[in-house]
């Protein structure tokens, strides 16, 4: 074993000095390779971080949500509905929620207007998300005029602007007093947009949801785990599509690598010829060339991955955001938590290092098996 | 659900393995038919030159196959959250009918690759290449296996539909299940435990003997295979119960979950490595006395010793981990013992 390690370390030593001698030749390849790793790694790091954010966010959402439907369209729940649903065995709490969408032509954006059941703002005052504040240039104490469902102007005073940390959930949010909400949307006091259920026993959530659905057969019942599953599938799919597209670039790169590795320079030919003439066998030359590929791969992988890390976690993934996040006027600004898992690294390695190594194997072997005199004369 | 990064990487690795083996097939066949180190004919020289390419390329691809077995299982466990009814890798593997066949084919590829890599490593160190022909034959046998594994994996991933309601491990690994997994779960602990310890202990003793003397590889290969099967049966029958501290939870896949400290990975990596080393020693055994030169014979013996050492380390780790699970668990299955 020690002999093997000694042999490999000497080969690495020789390969490094050879690379230093022919540095310029591999520079272009190295840059393109790092670029491919950068795109793939940015995609993976970003979607992994988004998945994690979604998981953390939904961990605090209610286990079951219910929306009433009439003829397949959304309908309001009544207080009687909520009382009936609250009696379902397994439901520890049911909360009727009141919210609606409002299109603001000034900002060209949709707001979510909500009347919280607990601790609402005072009458005539609102709390706004940082996206709304940004779109309308609002600060605490400013007034916001919105055209209500009745057609009149509704003037509200900003009592609080939510911090940027809550942007992921609150960018488009406007919280108001329930009475203001009813007056704004011209709705009676005992209707609710949807209902949120708390179920204490996680093993029973599915059964409880089934029983809730039986009480209001036309309603749509949404489970938290379904939301999580949908988010995971959505991010996985977007990530996969981008990776598949980047895979085409990786394939083009593999062809470039093959081409590059096939065309040895006169210096390299002479060097291999001399090595073989002084007693290196085919396997040693092949191993040396494989080490050359591994060192280029490893270097490009490290550079590309580090650049992707900086891009995603320090530069807000500016280059890939439009493809992966979706689009909205009031898009939340948020900072992702840096993290990486072993599976992502292994997957990235498989998708980048393996194609390169395979693409350079045959040219490396061709160089290794050529006769030394042909190599030195330059006839091969 | 093909458009997922791990799925894409797994399919790429499988396809590369199958295509690489297929491309190497004609060379393997030519080596099997015409390899003769005594002659200096042009064909022999061509075969020798090409052998270095095939052996390097296949080594790379087969190492990747071995590593991706781990990724395949981890991915199945991670995807469980996307299917209704799935609690661990079992649920994901049961979403369509190709999950478990794909896993079994991958395990077969893992052991086939392990044997080929062991033979290739020894062959490359001997000046007279005593294993070149047998390893070519093994490569020819691996081609359909790699193609099958790739095809099953593709069918499995294509069949993954998020709307499918799958069943969890509780239904497959319970004593009431009609499948063989049900029989394993129903294996009485008082019988399963001594049998597992005796077989694993026997395999470890035999590994120690092989590691010391460099002989007996064939027996170790058979013992290793038996120990592998018995250890897996033991996991279902009783190890899992002690880990989960639940006398009804027999799943061998939940061991891989974070809530049990990923301890299944340590257990299975040790078991798979030990079995692969034992099988490798078994594969070298028929050629132990046939080295063309004393130097080759000595290399074969030293490789058998090294493989015996790896098998010994692996089986000892499996034994220690099993004993530790039992003693550290809060579950008591024998209150009067």
- Range of B10's domain? 1-167
Asked which of B167, B183, B213 is the last residue of a domain, the reply is: B167
| Lookup result for tokens 């005594």 | B38
As annotated, the residues of chain A forming the CATH 2.40.40.20 domain(s) are 92-200
Is B57 domain-assigned?
A: yes
Q: Which residues are paired to A97 by β-bridges?
A: A194
Q: Is A232's CB within 8 Å of B82's CB?
A: yes
| Top-confidence residue, A190 or B333 | A190
Q: Which of A200-214, A302-316, B201-215 has the lowest mean pLDDT?
A: A200-214
pLDDT, tens digit, for every residue of B309-322?
A: 999 999 999 999 99
CA distance B64 to chain A (A): 8
CA distance B126 to chain A (A): 13
Q: Which residues are paired to A104 by β-bridges?
A: A109
pLDDT at A46: 86
Q: Where are the alpha helices (DSSP H) in chain B?
A: 5-34, 42-78, 89-93, 99-125, 132-158, 169-172, 180-186, 189-213, 217-234, 240-244, 263-284, 294-328
Q: Is the pLDDT of residue B291 over 60?
A: no
Task: Find the angle CA(A257)-CA(A263)-CA(A264) to the nearest 5 degrees.
Answer: 110
Q: Which of A14-18, B264-268, B318-322 has the lowest mean pLDDT?
A: A14-18
Contacts B2 to A, Cβ<8 Å: 240
Q: Is the pLDDT of residue A175 over 90?
A: yes
**Quick one: average pLDDT of A335-350?**
81
Q: Tokens for B331?
A: 């579950």
Q: Is B162's CB within 8 Å of A229's CB?
A: yes
Residues B163 and B175 in one domain: no
With bands split at pLDDT 50, 70 and 90, how would you rate the model's confidence at A330? low
Residues B126 and B201 in one domain: no
CA distance A297 to A307: 15
- The set of residues, in sequence order, having a beta carbon less than 8 Å from that of A4 and lying 6+ positions away, is none
Residues B240 and B304 in one domain: yes
Q: Which residues are paired to A99 by β-bridges?
A: A114
Q: Is the pLDDT of residue A374 over 60?
A: yes
pLDDT at A308: 93
pLDDT at A8: 84
Residues B23 and B138 in one domain: yes
Q: Is B9's CB within 8 Å of A346's CB?
A: yes
Q: Is A240's CB within 8 Å of B57's CB?
A: no
pLDDT at B337: 47
Name the residue in chain A with its Cα closest to that of B71. Answer: A343
pLDDT at A236: 78
Is B133 domain-assigned?
A: yes
pLDDT at B219: 95
CA distances from B162 to A55, A59, A232, B6, B92 (A): 18, 21, 11, 16, 10
Which range among A167-176, A367-376, B176-185 has the greatest average pLDDT?
A167-176
| Top-confidence residue, B219 or B178 | B219
CA distance A229 to B269: 30
What is the 3-state secondary structure of chain A? CHHHHHHHHHHHHHHHHHHHHCHHHHHHHHHHHHHHHHHHHHHHHHHHHHHHHHHHHHCCCCCEEEEEEECCEEECEEHHHHHHHHCCCCEEEEEEEEEEEEEECCCCEEEEEEECCCCCCCCCEEEECHHHHHHHCCCCCCEEEEECCCCCEEEEEEEEECCHHHHHHHCCEEEECHHHHHHHHCCCCCEECEEEEEECCHHHHHHHHHHHHHHCCCCEEEEHHHHHHHHHHHHHHHHHHHHHHHHHHHHHHHHHHHHHHHCCCHHHHHHHHHHHHCCCCHHHHHHHHHHHHHHHHHHHHHHHHHHHHHHHHCCCCCCCHHHHCCCCCCCCCCCCCCCCCHHHHHHHHHHHHHHHHHHHHHHHHHHHHCCHHHHHHCCC
Return mean pLDDT, chain B. Answer: 90
With bands split at pLDDT 50, 70 and 90, how would you rate the model's confidence at A326? low
Asked which of B107, B140, B167 is the last residue of a domain, the reply is: B167
Return mean pLDDT, chain A. Answer: 84
Please check whether residue B276 is in contact with residue B110, taking contact to mean a CB–CB distance below 8 angstroms: yes
**Quick one: average pLDDT of A242-247?**
76
**Quick one: average pLDDT of A30-44?**
88
Asked which of B152, B167, B182 is the last residue of a domain, the reply is: B167
Q: What is the ipTM of this complex?
A: 0.81
pLDDT, tens digit, for every residue of B113-172?
A: 999 999 999 998 888 888 999 999 999 999 999 999 999 999 999 988 877 778 778 778
**Quick one: average pLDDT of B263-274?**
94
Q: Is the pLDDT of residue A269 over 70?
A: yes
pLDDT at A181: 93
Q: Is A365's CB within 8 Å of B3's CB?
A: no
Which DSSP category does B249 fall into? -
Residues B92 and B121 in one domain: yes
With bands split at pLDDT 50, 70 and 90, how would you rate the model's confidence at A56? confident
pLDDT, tens digit, for every residue of A87-118?
A: 888 888 889 999 999 998 888 888 999 998 88
Is B337 domain-assigned?
A: no
**Quick one: average pLDDT of B168-191?**
79
CA distance A93 to chain B (A): 25
**Quick one: average pLDDT of A149-157?**
88
Our count of domains for chain B comes to 2
Q: Is B7's CB within 8 Å of A350's CB?
A: no
Q: Is the pLDDT of residue A235 over 80?
A: no
Q: Is the pLDDT of residue A199 over 70?
A: yes
Residues B162 and B176 in one domain: no
Burial classification of residue A248, based on how many CB atoms lie within 10 Å of its CB (0-12 exposed, 13-18 middle, 19 or more buried): exposed
Residues B108 and B178 in one domain: no
| Dihedral (CA of A9, A15, A19, A20) sign | positive
Residues B2 and B142 in one domain: yes
Q: Is B12's CB within 8 Å of A290's CB?
A: no
pLDDT, tens digit, for every residue of A298-310?
A: 899 999 999 999 9
| Dihedral (CA of B40, B46, B47, B50) sign | positive
Which DSSP category does B216 fall into? -
pLDDT at A171: 83
Q: Which of A257-271, B33-47, B93-107 has the lowest mean pLDDT?
A: A257-271
Residues B17 and B146 in one domain: yes
Q: Tokens for B330?
A: 């809060």
Residues B196 and B59 in one domain: no
Q: Which of A11-15, A53-57, A103-107, A177-181 has the lowest mean pLDDT?
A: A53-57
Chain A, chain B: beta-carbon pairs less than 8 Å apart: 93
Q: B16 — contact with chain A (CB < 8 Å)?
A: yes
Interface of B with A in 226-285 (CB under 8 A): none
Residues B3 and B98 in one domain: yes
% chain B with pLDDT above 90: 56
A92-200 maps to which CATH number?
2.40.40.20
Residues B160 and B12 in one domain: yes
Q: Is B162's CB within 8 Å of A240's CB?
A: no
Name the residue in chain B with its Cα closest to that of A361. Answer: B57
Is B175 domain-assigned?
A: yes
Q: Is the pLDDT of residue B336 over 60?
A: no
CA distance B118 to chain A (A): 14
pLDDT, tens digit, for every residue of B11-55?
A: 999 999 999 999 999 999 999 999 988 888 889 988 988 998 999
Q: Is A243's CB within 8 Å of B8's CB?
A: yes
% chain A with pLDDT above 70: 93
pLDDT at B195: 95
Please check whether residue B208 is in contact with residue B277, taking contact to mean a CB–CB distance below 8 angstroms: no
Q: Is B56's CB within 8 Å of A290's CB?
A: yes
Q: Which of B4, B5, B63 to mutate to test the interface with A (most CBs of A within 10 A)?
A: B5
Q: B302 — contact with chain A (CB < 8 Å)?
A: no
Q: Which of A243-247, A323-327, B43-47 has the lowest mean pLDDT?
A: A323-327
Alpha-carbon B226 to chain mean position? 13
């Amino acid at each position: 074993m020690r002999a093997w390690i000694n042999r490999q370390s000497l080969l690495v030593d020789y390969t490094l000095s050879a690379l230093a001698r022919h540095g310029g030749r591999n520079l272009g390849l190295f840059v393109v390779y790092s670029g491919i790793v950068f795109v793939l790694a940015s995609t993976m790091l970003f979607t992994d971080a988004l998945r994690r954010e979604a998981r953390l966010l939904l961990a605090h959402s209610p286990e079951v949500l219910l929306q009433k439907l009439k003829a397949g369209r959304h309908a309001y729940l009544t207080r009687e509905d909520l009382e009936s649903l609250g009696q379902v065995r397994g439901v520890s709490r049911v909360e009727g929620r009141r919210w609606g969408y409002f299109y603001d032509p000034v900002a060209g954006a949709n707001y979510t207007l909500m009347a919280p059941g607990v601790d609402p703002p005072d009458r005539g005052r609102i709390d706004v998300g940082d996206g709304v504040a940004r779109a309308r240039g609002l600060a605490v104490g400013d007034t916001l005029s919105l055209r209500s469902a009745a057609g009149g102007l509704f003037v509200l005073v900003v009592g609080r602007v939510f911090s940027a940390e809550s942007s992921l959930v609150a960018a488009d949010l406007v919280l108001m007093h329930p009475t203001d909400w009813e007056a704004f949307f011209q709705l009676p006091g005992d209707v609710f947009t949807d209902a949120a259920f708390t179920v204490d026993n996680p093993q029973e959530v599915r059964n409880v949801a089934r029983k809730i659905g039986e009480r209001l057969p036309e309603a749509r019942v949404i489970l938290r785990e379904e939301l999580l599953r949908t988010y995971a599938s959505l991010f996985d799919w977007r990530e996969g599509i981008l990776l598949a597209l980047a895979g085409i670039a990786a394939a083009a790169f593999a062809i470039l690598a093959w081409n590059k590795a096939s065309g040895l320079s006169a210096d390299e030919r002479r060097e291999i010829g001399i090595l073989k003439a002084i007693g290196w066998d085919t396997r040693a030359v092949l191993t040396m060339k494989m080490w050359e590929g591994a060192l280029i791969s490893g270097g490009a992988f490290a550079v590309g991955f580090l650049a992707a890390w900086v891009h995603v976690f320090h530069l807000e993934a500016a280059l890939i955001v439009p493809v992966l996040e979706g689009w909205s006027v009031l898009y939340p600004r948020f900072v992702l938590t840096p993290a990486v898992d072993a599976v992502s690294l292994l997957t990235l390695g498989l998708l980048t290092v393996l194609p390169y190594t395979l693409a350079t194997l045959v040219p490396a072997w061709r160089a290794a098996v050529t006769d030394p005199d042909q190599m030195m004369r330059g006839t091969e | 659900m093909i458009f997922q990064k791990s799925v894409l990487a797994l399919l790429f690795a499988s396809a590369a393995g199958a295509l690489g083996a297929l491309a190497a097939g004609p060379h393997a066949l030519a080596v099997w038919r015409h390899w003769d180190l005594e002659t200096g004919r042009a064909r022999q020289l061509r075969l020798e030159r090409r052998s270095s390419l095939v052996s390097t390329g296949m080594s790379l691809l087969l190492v990747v196959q071995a590593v991706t077995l781990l990724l395949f299982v981890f991915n199945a466990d991670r995807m469980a959250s996307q299917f209704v009814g799935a609690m661990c890798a079992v649920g994901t593997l049961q979403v369509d009918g190709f999950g478990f066949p794909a896993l079994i084919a991958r395990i077969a590829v893992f052991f086939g690759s392990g044997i080929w890599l062991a033979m290739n490593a020894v062959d490359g160190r001997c000046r007279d290449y005593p294993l070149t022909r047998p390893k070519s034959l093994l490569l020819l046998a691996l081609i359909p296996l790699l193609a099958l594994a790739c095809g099953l994996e593709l069918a499995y991933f294509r069949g993954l539909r998020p709307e499918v309601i799958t069943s969890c491990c509780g239904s497959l690994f319970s004593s009431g299940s009609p499948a063989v997994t049900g029989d394993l779960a129903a294996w009485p602990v008082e019988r399963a435990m001594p049998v597992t310890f005796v077989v694993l202990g026997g395999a470890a003793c035999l590994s120690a003997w092989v590691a010391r003397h460099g002989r007996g590889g064939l027996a170790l290969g058979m013992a290793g295979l038996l120990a592998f099967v018995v250890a897996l049966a033991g996991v279902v029958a009783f190890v899992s119960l002690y880990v989960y501290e639940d006398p009804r939870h027999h799943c061998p896949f939940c061991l891989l979950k974070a809530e049990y400290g990923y301890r299944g990975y340590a257990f299975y990596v040790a078991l798979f490595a030990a079995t692969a080393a034992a099988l490798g020693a078994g594969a070298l055994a028929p050629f132990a006395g046939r080295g063309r030169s004393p130097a080759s014979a000595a290399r074969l013996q030293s490789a058998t010793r090294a493989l015996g050492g790896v098998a010994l380390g692996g089986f000892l780790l499996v034994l220690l981990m099993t004993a530790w699970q039992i003693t550290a668990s809060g579950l008591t299955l024998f209150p009067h013992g």
